[in-house]
Amino acid sequence: MKPTYARVIIDRAIHRELDYLVPDGFADRVDIGWRVRVPFRDKSALATVVAIPEQTEATGLRAIEAIVGEKAALNPKLIELARWMSAYYCCSIETVMRSLLPQVIRRGEVSWKKQLFVRATRIIAEEEVEKLRKRAPRQADLLHAVSQLTAPIPAADLLRQTSLDNQTLRALQKRGLVELREEAVARDPHADEQFVATTNLVLNVEQAVALTALEEALANPGTAKPLLLHGVTGSGKTEIYLQAIRSALARGKTAIVLVPEISLTPQTVERFKSRFAETEDMVAVLHSRLSEGERHDEWHKIRSGRARIVIGARSAVFAPLESLGLIVVDEEHETSYKQEEAPRYHARDLAVVRGKLENCVVLLGTATPSLESYFNAKRGKYRLLNLTLRVDDNQMPLMRIVDLRQEKRKAKSLTILGEKLHSAMIDRLEKREQTILFLNRRGFSTSLLCSACGEARDCPNCSVALTFHRTASRLSCHLCGHTAAVPKKCPACGEDALIYSGFGTEKVEANVQQLFPKAVVRRMDADSMTRKDAYRETLRAFRAGKIDILVGTQMIAKGLHFPNVTLVGIINADLALHLPDFRAGERTFQLLTQVAGRAGRGEIAGEVFVQTFTPFSPSIQFARHHDFAGYFEQELEFRERCDFPPFRHAVLITVRSAHEARAKFSAETLARRLREALPDEFILGEPSPAPLEKLQGQFRFHILMRGEAIVRLSRLVRETLDKLPLPEDVVASVDVDPYQLL
């Protein structure tokens, strides 16, 4: 039956779905998921069809103006997922739709790149070339080059290779000897790389058991639980992903692999592209560093069904694949899967929901499961698979805890490298083995204080100190990006009494270079990696052994594999531990385990030094003994006692304004209304200033709620907010399952 009406969501926040008439001419194409252009008020707007109702209560219907694209942009399952997100994450459906469709696809302004291709119109004899040479030698040169081609090539490439110009080419075209044709070409970010096909590696017993479990799930996707693959670093999880994907493809299915943005390195992409290199365009890549054109091309490659595997960061969970068979979430514990602006979704959780909607297998892989996932496995919602052995039987590195309190007493000042770490580094340099030093803080000095009047240089927009960057010779705020010149004298009292204190990676690098003048030291953090290829170049040099000591932030903590690294130094393990966040311990445990996993992945056993002021904190002690189960048990006990996730869901409302009093008043009013609206089963906290009270010029207040029935809580919060008109300069945002509590 031909559709009479179409229900659409317009690309604007009007918080309503609208019905339109379907003109006869479009009736065979308008369906759920199609993009359309519709009249809206006195303009026209782009929209997505979300339903085909048989009847409508709306009156005075207008007709759809145009259809956009050659195919539905989204399948009905993705629209179902959008509705789920809207209800769960307490945000409007329009906001959700913005995440589902990349802007470049929504706007439809970018299209395929066209390139001019050259080929000969017929076989050209050498005599013909020579005849032409007498009159037009340059045309003859070009004609000779064209006569040698086995396939059409881009005109630009031909002219560059022959150092000839466009005029010469056009002259040959006029003579009817060559043909020029425009063809669409993909803007492939990996076009200049060669991928050599690789074959399956032999699995060890544990890996084989895990793969069998996956095969079983792929055979019965309707009844399979999500699988949690807990494998120590270096245990060969990626090989299992690759073989499971192969299996899904063999069943005629497609696959998504989610990887944290920071781990989506050329090395990772290469591993997937190479394994499936036998089919061109089999693997599409989606991440935030793509140009608009590249994103357009990769998206269409997926939508058209040419690409059957998508590897990407967070938003790749929305990849518009058909017959989805497998979603892999690598490093599922990573907090970067959580989007920090609306819609504030968690890609791992969405993967599980999408898996359920599409009857597809979901595999969560990690060396340090999140407490949420571990808890789900423990109570039988997920199936747990363990990999306890490192491939090639490498030993887990030896972890040594260095008590910085003692080091400080000995050195009588703040030390960057304790005595033990220092001598271990000397040892490695002698043996020509490599060292990684890790510190999760950028910059040179982390604060600038006046010893005369006590004034600190704080960011004018945020309640944090400015960090001194020596290379740039500026002070900068790591939260809002504000930068300032370094004052010679204290701006407050005019005394020449400024003291730099605290240190970041830039100072570690300088300090290490000073201690080891002959060693090659490099730094890898957001400041030193601003050039596009810097990351790749540094990693290549490190792998080739041209760098002795690599200093870096979490950029170097993830999934990188360097066989010659036998020493890892964690300069200060306490940085995360003292944040006012119930996940602080979990993050420290994960970080230590991840960073430690960088050591000893070759033949030689690794050694890890963990420098800390709190050597007896549980997250450090359990990490030291590689005791995951022990850590989880004690952390779960703590979470249960405090009604924190994973035992309760949390919802965080942030009320902010440039005017402190107004933000405070609005937060208090809102909390009062919530107290009236929420039944007793929900725990409602008092409104209070956020730990980071001022951010980007805005004063911030928090209201934290907890409860089990999250969709219900979400709805009550939405209704309360809708009924409470906030002053114009006050904004309230809702974060369901928040990860940022500052």
Per DSSP, 203 falls in state P
Determine the residue type at 715.
R
| Cβ neighbours of residue 26 closer than 8 Å, sequence gap 6 or more | 64, 67
Q: Is residue 197 involved in binding Zn ion (CB under 5 A)?
A: no
State the pairing for strand pair 607-612/434-438.
unpaired
Q: Is residue 477 involved in binding Zn ion (CB under 5 A)?
A: yes
Query: Residue 37 forms beta bridges with which residues?
Result: 46, 66
Per DSSP, 421 falls in state H
Closest distance of CB 692 from Zn ion, Å: 10
Helices 237-250 and 266-275 pack at an angle, to 10 degrees, of: 40
Q: Is residue 465 involved in binding Zn ion (CB under 5 A)?
A: no
| Cα dist from 266 to 190, 551, 584, 713, whole Å | 9, 20, 31, 42
Q: Is residue 462 involved in binding Zn ion (CB under 5 A)?
A: yes
* Phi (first) and psi of residue 133, to 5 degrees: -60, -35
Q: Is residue 742 involved in binding Zn ion (CB under 5 A)?
A: no
Toward Zn ion, which CB reaches closer, 124 or 492?
Answer: 492
Toward Zn ion, which CB reaches closer, 453 or 629?
Answer: 453
| Cα dist from 307 to 326, 355, 429, whole Å | 14, 19, 46
Closest distance of CB 508 from Zn ion, Å: 23
Find, among 185, 164, 165, 182, the residue nearest to 119 by Cα.
Answer: 182
Quick one: which segment of 54-62, 143-151, 163-171, 454-462 binds Zn ion (CB under 5 A)? 454-462
Q: Is residue 466 involved in binding Zn ion (CB under 5 A)?
A: no
Quick one: which segment of 16-24, 166-174, 226-234, 485-493 binds Zn ion (CB under 5 A)? 485-493
Q: Is residue 68 involved in binding Zn ion (CB under 5 A)?
A: no
- Between CA 425 and CA 431 the distance in angstroms is 10
Q: How many CB atoms lie within 10 A of CB 260?
A: 21
User: Rule CB under 5 A: which of 127-146 touch Zn ion?
Assistant: none
Question: 3-state DSSP call for residue 451?
Answer: coil
Q: Is residue 58 involved in binding Zn ion (CB under 5 A)?
A: no
- Interface mask toward Zn ion for 414-453; x: CB under 5 A: ------------------------------------x-xx
Q: Is residue 463 involved in binding Zn ion (CB under 5 A)?
A: no
Toward Zn ion, which CB reaches closer, 63 or 499?
Answer: 499
Work out the burial of residue 712: count CB atoms within 10 Å of its CB; fewer than 13 is exposed, 13-18 middle, 19 or more buried: middle
Q: Is residue 479 involved in binding Zn ion (CB under 5 A)?
A: yes
Q: Is residue 461 involved in binding Zn ion (CB under 5 A)?
A: yes
Q: How many CB atoms lie within 10 A of CB 362?
A: 26
Closest distance of CB 465 from Zn ion, Å: 10
Quick one: which segment of 121-129, 457-465, 572-580, 664-672 binds Zn ion (CB under 5 A)? 457-465
Largest interatomic CA distance in the chain: 96
Closest distance of CB 652 from Zn ion, Å: 21
Kindly tell me which residue out of 14, 21, 492, 579 binds Zn ion, with binding defined by CB under 5 A.
492
Toward Zn ion, which CB reaches closer, 124 or 692?
Answer: 692
Q: Is residue 484 involved in binding Zn ion (CB under 5 A)?
A: no
Toward Zn ion, which CB reaches closer, 23 or 454?
Answer: 454
How many C-alpha atoms does 53 have within 13 Å on its Cβ side? 14
Quick one: which segment of 423-431, 435-443, 461-469, 515-523 binds Zn ion (CB under 5 A)? 461-469
State the pairing for strand pair 5-10/18-21.
antiparallel
Toward Zn ion, which CB reaches closer, 4 or 461?
Answer: 461
Chain residues in the site for Zn ion (CB under 5 A): 450, 452-453, 455, 459, 461-462, 477, 479-480, 482, 490, 492-493
